[in-house]
Amino acid sequence: MYRVRHYDNPIRARQAATWLLRHGVLASVVGDHVSALGPYVGFTTRSGAGSFTVAIALERQRDEAHELIELFEAMPAEYEEGWEEQSVPDLSRLDPAMLPACPACGERLPADATIDHCPVCGAEADVVGLIAAAYGPEVLEPLLTRADEPDTPLDWLTDELLDLVAADCPKCGYALDGLAASGPCPECGTRYDKRAVIEALMRGDPRG
């Protein structure tokens, strides 16, 4: 997996990845951590809460991805209604055992990402920052998607768009660019499904 651009805003990062997918580049948003990347190389890690990286699966698309991201950045940012709520993690979905203690009094802080002071002693307490410091920012990314939303942007990814998305045969590595969304690999005959390849990328699975 190869890094294209880092974002602090998860909504903007998802928009950038969607833009790349719509232009045929196999892209995804990943938290800046090593554990979900498996054996991928060429990826620079970065720590801290709110770290979201747009990365691509195919090295041969790096130049194209960078050019497309520059075009994307030149466009004004557009956010759907309610984007502020989407950028705040829903800590009620976090394992209660992972909720941090107040650094001042030691009492467990509530599952509320909007508070900035301990409700017991009144000391400053960044709940989200403490969770990210203890477990890594990757634990927060799933909490930014509402429970009724899909985990990936594949709901809009039609077969027509999948025809344009670049992918490699999961068995022999043959470039499937411009081929149908699914079918037999022209090189080895193994059946492929580009949607499955993208879903595997979203999970951080390099095998597809």
How do residues 54-93 score in pLDDT, each as one tens digit? Answer: 888 888 999 999 999 999 999 876 555 444 445 578 888 8
Q: Any idea which residue has 């344009």 for tokens?
A: 164
3-state secondary structure of 76: coil
Same domain, 101 and 130: yes
User: H or E stretch including 184?
Assistant: strand 182-184
Contact 143, 90 (CB under 8 A): yes
Q: What share of the chain is helix, strand, coil (3-state, %, to 5)?
A: 35, 15, 50
Q: Note whether residue 118 is domain-resident.
A: yes
Contact 52, 13 (CB under 8 A): yes
The residue segments making up the domain with residue 175 are 2-81+147-202
Q: Note whether residue 89 is domain-resident.
A: no
Same domain, 75 and 173: yes
Q: What's the whole-model pTM score?
A: 0.56
CA neighbor of 4 nearest in space, from 21, 15, 16: 16
Same domain, 131 and 151: no
Same domain, 45 and 72: yes
Same domain, 8 and 107: no
Residue 189 has pLDDT above 90, yes or no: yes
How far apart are the C-alpha atoms of 195 and 171, rounded to whole Å? Answer: 16
